[in-house]
Amino acid sequence: MRMLLLMTLCTLVSCTAPEENSSKSLERTSMKTLNKESYNNRIMGIFSGKNFREVSCDAYGVGLFKKSQVKCIISTLTIEEVLGIIEEGVQEFASEGSWVEDYGQYHTGYLLKDDPTYEFGFGVSRVAYKPQAFKSNPDIWGKFESDIIFTPIYKRKE
């Protein structure tokens, strides 16, 4: 199963790679010299391909994420494909995350390899599981498969 997922991921990464090479300059930079914003930009670069679109987090409830830096993204890819792309995209600079399935929603958190006092995380689900959030939006409902909530890097409380 893992091998099949990796083969699918390899195919998807080549098909869904970001059109712009903005992350190329980050790859040449030592990870220790990157700041939180640089890491967050690199992570958001994972979702810059044609199969992803950032949306307002108000779809989940107006003001629900008002006091946070959370980013909300939708995708035409399946949950499994999205999970593989995320894992591949952060493996160079993040600890291995363990995805936990919770009633069809997947969650994980990662620590930065260079400074494990910093973490970030993801929640991935199916758009169809959230009719209250998306059904009233015809640009999303029926056209996108997955939704992603990305919690940008923050310093953990010890």
Q: Summarize pLDDT for 127-152 with one digit per residue, the tens.
A: 999 998 899 889 999 999 999 999 99
**Cα–Cα distance measured from residue 36 to residue 117, given in angstroms and rounded to the nearest whole number:** 12
Query: Over the stretch 60-100, which tens digit does the pLDDT of each residue have?
Result: 888 788 878 899 999 999 999 999 999 999 999 999 889 99
Instruction: Scan for tokens 């996108």, then name that residue.
Output: 144
Residue whose C-alpha is closest to residue 130's, from 115, 118, 116, 145: 145
Query: Over the stretch 14-55, which tens digit does the pLDDT of each residue have?
Result: 333 333 344 444 444 444 556 888 999 999 999 999 999 999
Q: Please count the structural domains in the chain.
A: 1
**Contact (Cβ atoms closer than 8 angstroms) between residue 123 and residue 107:** yes
Containing structural domain, residue 148: 2-28+37-155
- Please give the model's pTM, rounded to 2 decimal places: 0.76
